[in-house]
């Protein structure tokens, strides 16, 4: 049976277009047709790699499942359409959800403007009649009370806003303080649940995007990930055996339905490093060129291991107050394999409270506790050192002066020794240490060369320092120098 409304306008093509333009898409198929018809954008809808999704999967969830209260991470390749899709999602929400407020925050002013520019282009083509007033360079308002605004990458800009939707574009470029302030922007109202969506590539091992993806499950965030193969154009006339993309493609492009030019992909692969290609275009892992320990791989070095009463127990400490105090608990078996079985990481806590928690965590005989030699320095107010205070609290420690590079090389040789037998295993409970291995990096200098010493970012260095003190002191037994108990 034909709808009477449709019969009344079927003879007027313009009215017919307006009719369907104002009808909210209710299914995935309708949504794809709507975007293609009224925006002229065809969204790829086929996942090609294991564990990946398609760009259409994100758009369908963002609009059709708009009452889902979860935040989302959109991790995709360069040129993967992330920014454009964010603009489409913003437009659909403002058109069909009255009083929906959307804020766009980019890693730079230019990046923020890019998503908004896509939005303006779509409005100019088909939806100018939905706008109230004129569009400015910073935002626009819709007749139904919805609005979009572009925020500057500054701490002041992200404070004071309380809206249902925040879309952060290129998180890798964000200032950490701005990112922290942005966490408090979203607020549910007018029957529209709040949601934060993050769009970015992932090319920094210690970057915000890497940290967010690795903690997504515990934060309850949904991840949408796609790479070049989900957006590349269909390959129809090339010989696979002679194609520079064959090593990674393996025929995927023959089944693709995207838009990314194959010639562009070939040119980019030829002029980029292997690590950059993997992280920027294939979304396999962050670029590991700057990592201090590229040898570390969770599937090799992380395992389920706990306390063994038959092995000696050691502790390794790195001191801190504003930065965390770290205590690692370690055991060594007869073959010389080191097991980091647990960690204590806490900041802004008194030393006495740290001592209480550390002793309570493993109330077993301790073979030795190792620490930072800087702990011998006396404090001006108390005239005592941290090491002396720990002794009074029941935690005597040993320390040995050493070069940072020597300690790092000891750790490296246990991660990937020449004989191939891994001698460092880390419990899955040690999440801070695992994240530090994935984020501890060298700093790039002005000449684009890496510094000799690792970057002390206050986030990834403390747990590595504690581990380094263990190696320097434990293997230092074989060096004929005096080591004192304090």
pLDDT in tens, 187-224: 999 999 999 999 999 877 667 888 888 888 888 999 99
pLDDT at 205: 64
Q: Are residues 431 and 341 in the same domain?
A: yes
Q: Are residues 41 and 188 in the same domain?
A: yes
pLDDT in tens, 384-424: 889 999 999 999 999 998 889 999 999 999 998 888 899 99
Q: Using CA of residue 144, residue 150, residue 156, residue 159, what is the dihedral sign?
A: positive
pLDDT confidence tier of residue 288, bands split at 50, 70 and 90: low
Assess whether pLDDT exceeds 60 at residue 349. yes
Q: Is residue 433 part of a domain?
A: yes
Q: Is residue 325 part of a domain?
A: yes
Q: Is residue 291 part of a domain?
A: no
Question: In the structure encoding, which two tokens stand for residue 179, read together?
Answer: 């990112």
The CATH number of the domain where 144 resides is what?
A: 3.40.50.300
pLDDT at 381: 67
Q: Are residues 73 and 182 in the same domain?
A: yes
Q: Is residue 109 part of a domain?
A: yes
The CATH number of the domain where 319 resides is what?
A: 3.30.420.280
3-state secondary structure the chain: CCCHHHHHHCCCHHHHHHHHHCCCCCCHHHHHHHHHHHHCCCCCCCCCCCCCCCHHHHHHHHHHCCCCCCCEEEEECCCCCHHHHHHHHHHHHHHHCCCCEEEEEECCHHHHHHHHHHHHHHHHHHHHHHEECCCCCCEEEECCCCEEEEECCCHHHHCCCCECEEEEECHHHCCHHHHHHHCCCECCECCECCEEEEEECCCCCCCHHHHHHHCHHHHCCEEEEECHHHHECCCCCCCHHHCCCHHHHCCHHHHCCCCECHHHHHHHHHHCCHHHHHHHCCCCCCCCCCECCCCCCHHHHEECCCCCCCCCEEEEEECCCCCCEEEEEEEECCCCCEEEEEEEEECCCCHHHHHHHHHHHCCCCCCEEECCHHHHCECCCCCCEHHHHHHHCCCCCECCCCCHHHHHHHHHHHHCCCCCCCCEEEECCCHHHHHHHHHCEEEECCCCCEEEEECCCCCCHHHHHHHHHHHHHHHHHHCCCCCCEC
Q: Are residues 221 and 86 in the same domain?
A: yes
Q: Is residue 268 part of a domain?
A: no
End-of-domain residue from the set 193, 226, 259: 226
Over range 96-117, report the average pLDDT: 91
Please tell me the least confidently modeled range out of 46-50, 221-225, 238-242, 322-326. Answer: 322-326
Domain that holds residue 208: 12-226
Q: Using CA of residue 338, residue 339, residue 345, residue 351, what is the dihedral sign?
A: negative
Q: Is residue 124 part of a domain?
A: yes
Assess whether pLDDT exceeds 50 at residue 485. no
Assess whether pLDDT exceeds 90 at residue 72. yes
pLDDT at 322: 67
Assess whether pLDDT exceeds 60 at residue 135. yes
**Mean pLDDT score across all residues of the chain:** 88
pLDDT at 323: 76
pLDDT at 480: 38
Q: Is residue 350 part of a domain?
A: yes
Q: Are residues 195 and 311 in the same domain?
A: no
Residues with Cβ within 8 Å of 3's Cβ and at least 6 positions away in sequence, in order, are none
Say which residue the tokens 């400015």 belong to. Answer: 136
Assess whether pLDDT exceeds 80 at residue 8. no
Q: Are residues 33 and 129 in the same domain?
A: yes
Distance CA 402, CA 476 (A): 10
pLDDT at 6: 42
Distance CA 338, CA 331 (A): 6
pLDDT at 2: 42
**Count: domains in the chain:** 2
Over range 28-50, report the average pLDDT: 92
Please tell me the least confidently modeled range out of 22-26, 95-99, 261-265, 365-369. Answer: 22-26
pLDDT in tens, 437-476: 988 888 776 555 667 888 888 888 999 999 999 999 998 7
End-of-domain residue from the set 201, 226, 251: 226
Q: Of all residues in the chain, what percent carry a pLDDT higher than 90? A: 60
Q: Is residue 284 part of a domain?
A: no
pTM here? 0.67
Please tell me the least confidently modeled range out of 29-33, 189-193, 274-278, 472-476. Answer: 274-278
Say which residue the tokens 């801190």 belong to. Answer: 320
Q: Are residues 310 and 222 in the same domain?
A: no
pLDDT at 483: 44
Distance CA 424, CA 416 (A): 9
Tell me the β-bridge partners of 328.
316, 343
pLDDT confidence tier of residue 108, bands split at 50, 70 and 90: confident
pLDDT at 1: 39
Instruction: Identify whether the C-beta of residue 139 lies closer than 8 Å to the C-beta of residue 151.
Output: no
End-of-domain residue from the set 226, 251, 267: 226
pLDDT at 123: 92
pLDDT confidence tier of residue 482, bands split at 50, 70 and 90: very low
């Amino acid at each position: 049976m034909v709808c009477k409304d449709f019969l009344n306008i079927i003879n007027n093509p313009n009215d017919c277009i307006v009719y369907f333009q104002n009808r909210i898409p209710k299914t995935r198929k309708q949504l794809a047709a709507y975007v293609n018809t009224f925006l002229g954008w065809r969204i790829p809808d086929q996942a090609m790699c294991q564990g990946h999704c398609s760009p259409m999967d994100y758009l369908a969830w963002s609009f059709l499942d708009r009452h889902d209260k979860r935040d989302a991470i959109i991790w995709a390749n360069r040129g993967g359409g992330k920014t454009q899709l964010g603009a489409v999602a913003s437009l659909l929400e403002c058109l069909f959800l009255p009083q929906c407020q959307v804020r766009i925050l980019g890693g730079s002013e230019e990046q923020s403007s890019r998503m908004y520019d896509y939005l303006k282009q779509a409005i100019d083509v088909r939806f100018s009649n939905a706008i109230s007033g004129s569009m400015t360079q910073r935002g626009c308002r819709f007749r139904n009370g919805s609005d979009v605004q572009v925020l500057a990458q500054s701490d002041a800009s992200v404070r004071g806003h309380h809206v249902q939707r925040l879309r952060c574009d290129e998180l890798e470029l964000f200032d950490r303080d701005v990112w922290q302030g942005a966490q408090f922007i979203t607020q549910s109202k007018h029957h529209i649940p709040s949601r934060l969506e993050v769009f970015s590539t992932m090319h920094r091992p210690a970057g915000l995007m890497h940290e967010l993806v690795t903690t997504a499950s515990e934060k309850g965030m949904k991840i949408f990930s796609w790479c070049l193969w989900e957006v590349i154009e269909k390959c129809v006339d090339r010989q696979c055996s002679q194609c520079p993309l064959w090593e990674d493609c393996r025929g995927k492009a023959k089944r693709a339905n995207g838009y990314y030019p194959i010639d562009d992909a070939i040119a980019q692969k030829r002029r980029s490093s292997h690590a950059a290609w993997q992280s920027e275009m294939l979304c396999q892992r962050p670029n590991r060129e700057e990592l201090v320990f590229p040898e570390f791989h969770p599937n090799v070095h992380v395992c389920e291991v706990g306390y063994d009463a038959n092995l000696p127990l050691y502790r390794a400490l790195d001191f801190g107050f504003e930065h965390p105090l770290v205590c690692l608990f370690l055991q060594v078996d007869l073959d010389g394999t080191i097991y980091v079985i647990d960690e204590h990481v806490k900041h802004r806590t008194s030393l006495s409270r740290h001592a209480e928690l550390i002793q309570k965590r493993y109330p077993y005989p301790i073979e030795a506790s190792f620490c930072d030699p800087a702990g011998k320095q006396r404090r001006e107010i108390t005239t005592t050192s941290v090491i002396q205070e720990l002794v009074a609290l029941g935690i005597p420690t040993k320390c040995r002066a050493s070069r940072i590079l020597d300690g790092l090389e000891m750790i490296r040789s246990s991660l990937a020794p020449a004989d191939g037998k891994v001698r460092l295993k880390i419990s899955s409970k040690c999440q801070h240490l695992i994240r530090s291995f994935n984020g501890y990096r060298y700093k790039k200098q002005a000449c684009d060369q890496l510094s000799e010493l690792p970057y002390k970012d206050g986030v990834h260095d403390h747990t590595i320092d504690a581990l380094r003190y263990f190696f320097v002191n434990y293997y230092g037994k074989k060096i004929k120098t005096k080591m004192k108990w304090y």
